[in-house]
């Protein structure tokens, strides 16, 4: 067992929780969003890095209807049997001595296909969170350059929700409701009145994690259609994370020590929750398996532990670039050391890498 296993964000019962049946029947989920909408009368484009990002965004728009090859056939069961498929979270689990032991191979592959649909469903819900957060940034950020850029991101995120929704509806056999813990994180970010917290929660933590997951998915997905979709989405996401890094670098120069500590604590709590609360709970529930026991297996599977660490490969270097890793006597560095994710601190940060990930405009 390594150091990372000792830190857990809640009891197993808390981790295994899913949204209520009543919530599952509701088509609308309301969150009170606070904070002032800011007009600015300073129209000077005085932030060259954001201007450059905005120009890039304007020529990088793609179209879900015409740029994606929707004629490609997808066989979710064939893909579920592929040993290298990262979306199938059940793939690396040793079934002996677990609630999965009694399942036939066919039932096990059904679960694999469902677990891929779960992962993509959470991407879709997360993309809607990004859509809402970025619309909020348009309203609340005081700089015209950031409002311009955020407006392009709103369009990007609409496209991402659309592309995952279409893939789920037309190519896969299942679609899952939002994971309770993802919803709680999105609710926190949307309801915070401070604009920098919207950026920190969404562009740095959630999109940083998504960018790492997409990168892994792009390299290993056995489905050519999903590979194509992922490549388009990744080019956009790299810009979004860069937008967060470039904006917060400026904002965080002004903050006091206690304000910085509050942000460090937020990042740490979000990190632990993102690492140990996305346990495919809704798949076990759907399959009628004991959710708590299945979560326990997922939580301690060696492969899953390693995979979950990889999800921090973008977040750690970006937080370092923002100064949050080392501020206040390295409080966050100490915590991330305990999570076992400091090995990523010198990986390329996204403020620099996004240009490499852009696609040539073909339209
Ligand atoms: Fe997105
Ligand atoms: Fe995004």
DSSP states of 199-261: HIIIIIIIHHHHHHHHHHHHHH-S-HHHHHHHHHHHHHHHHHHHHHHHHHHHHHTT--HHHHH
Predicted confidence band of residue 199 (pLDDT cuts 50, 70, 90):
very high
Instruction: Summarize the confidence of residues 352-362 as an average pLDDT.
Output: 75
**What's the CA-to-centroid distance between 257 and ligand 1, angstroms?**
32
Report DSSP letters for 311-361, one per residue. TTTTHHHHHHHTTTTTHHHHHHHHHHHHHT-GGGTTSPPHHHHHHHHPPPP
> What pLDDT, on the 0 to 100 scale, is given for residue 263?
98
Res 360: pLDDT = 66
User: Does residue 87 contact residue 119 with C-beta atoms inside 8 Å?
Assistant: yes
Nearest ligand to the C-alpha of residue 232? 1
**Is the Cα dihedral 243, 249, 250, 256 positive or negative?**
positive
Q: 27-42 pLDDT, tens per residue?
A: 999 999 889 999 999 9
- The arithmetic mean of pLDDT across residues 302-307, rounded, is 83
Give helix 224-252 / helix 350-357 axis angle, nearest 10°: 150
Under 8 Å between Cβ of 242 and 354: yes
Q: Look at residue 305 in the predicted model and tell me its pLDDT.
A: 84
The ranges assigned to domains in the chain are 51-61+77-357
Burial class of residue 21 (count of CB atoms within 10 Å of its CB; 0-12, 13-18, 19+) = exposed
Ligand 1 center from residue 211 Cα (angstroms): 9
**Tens digit of each residue's pLDDT (9 = 90 or more) over 212-255:** 999 888 888 889 999 999 999 999 999 999 999 999 999 999 99
Provide the pLDDT for residue 276: 87
1 has pLDDT over 50: no
From the CA of 128, which ligand is nearest? Answer: 1
Consecutive H or E run containing 170:
helix 144-171
**CA proximity to 53, closest of 153, 154, 202:** 153
Residue in the block written with tokens 């304007």: 58
Are the beta carbons of 126 and 186 closer than 8 angstroms?
Answer: yes
**Which residues have CB atoms below 5 A from the ion given as ligand 1?**
127, 130, 157, 160
Q: What is the mean pLDDT of the chain?
A: 92
Using CA atoms, how far apart are residues 59 and 56, in angstroms rounded to an integer?
6
| pLDDT per position as a tens digit, 129-147 | 999 999 999 999 999 999 9
Cα(156) to ligand 1 centroid in Å equals 6
**Rounded alpha-carbon distances, angstroms, from residue 338 to 29, 62, 267, 273:** 35, 41, 14, 14
Instruction: Write down the pLDDT at residue 4.
Output: 46
> Which residues contact residue 329 at a Cβ distance below 8 angstroms, ignoring those fewer than 6 apart?
none
Side-chain-side CA neighbours of 300 within 13 Å: the count stands at 11
| Percent of the chain at pLDDT exceeding 90 | 74
Residue 30's pLDDT is: 95
281 vs 83: which has the higher pLDDT: 281
Nearest ligand to residue 123 Cα: 1
Task: Give residue 2's pLDDT.
Answer: 47
pLDDT at 194 over 90: yes
How far does residue 143's CA lie from ligand 1's centre (Å)? 22
| DSSP at 5 | G
* Burial of 7 from C-beta contacts in 10 A (0-12 / 13-18 / 19+): middle
- At 55 the pLDDT is 97
Average pLDDT of the segment spanning 184-193: 95
- From the CA of 99, how far away is ligand 1's center (Å)? 35
CA of 133, nearest ligand number: 2
CATH domain 51-61+77-357 topology? Ribonucleotide Reductase, subunit A (1.10.620)
* Number of Cβ atoms within 10 Å of the Cβ of 317: 23
């Amino acid at each position: 067992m390594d150091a990372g296993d000792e830190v857990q964000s809640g009891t197993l019962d808390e981790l295994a929780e899913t949204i209520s049946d009543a919530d599952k029947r509701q088509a609308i989920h309301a969150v009170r969003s606070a904070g002032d909408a800011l007009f600015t009368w300073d129209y000077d484009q005085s932030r060259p890095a954001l201007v450059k990002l905005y120009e890039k965004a304007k020529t990088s728009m793609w179209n879900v209807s015409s740029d994606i090859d929707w004629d490609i056939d997808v066989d979710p069961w064939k893909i579920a049997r592929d040993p290298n498929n990262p979306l199938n979270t059940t793939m690396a689990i040793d079934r002996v001595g677990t609630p999965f032991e009694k399942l036939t191979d066919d039932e096990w592959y059904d679960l694999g296909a469902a677990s891929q649909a779960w992962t993509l469903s959470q991407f879709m819900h997360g993309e809607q969170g990004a859509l809402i957060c970025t619309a909020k940034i348009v309203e609340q950020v005081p700089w015209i350059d950031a409002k311009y850029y955020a407006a392009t991101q709103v369009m990007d995120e609409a496209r991402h929700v659309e592309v995952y929704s279409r893939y789920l509806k037309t190519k896969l056999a299942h679609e899952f409701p939002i994971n309770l813990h993802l919803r709680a994180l999105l609710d926190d970010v949307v309801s915070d009145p401070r604009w920098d917290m919207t950026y920190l929660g969404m562009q740095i933590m959630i999109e940083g994690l998504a960018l790492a997951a997409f990168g892994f998915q792009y390299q290993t997905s056995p489905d050519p259609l999903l590979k194509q979709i992922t490549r388009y989405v990744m080019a956009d996401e790299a810009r979004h994370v860069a937008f967060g890094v470039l904006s917060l670098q400026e904002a965080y120069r002004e903050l006091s020590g206690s304000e910085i500590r509050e942000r460090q604590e937020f990042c740490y709590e979000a990190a632990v929750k993102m690492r140990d609360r996305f346990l495919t709970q809704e798949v076990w529930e759907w399959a009628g398996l004991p959710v708590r026991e299945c979560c326990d297996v997922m939580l301690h599977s060696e492969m899953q532990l390693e995979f979950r660490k990889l999800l921090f490969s973008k977040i750690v270097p970006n937080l370092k670039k923002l100064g949050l890793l080392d501020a206040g006597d390295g409080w966050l560095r100490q915590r991330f050391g305990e999570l076992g994710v400091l090995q990523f601190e010198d990986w390329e940060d996204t403020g620099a890498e996004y240009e490499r990930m852009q696609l040539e405009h073909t339209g």
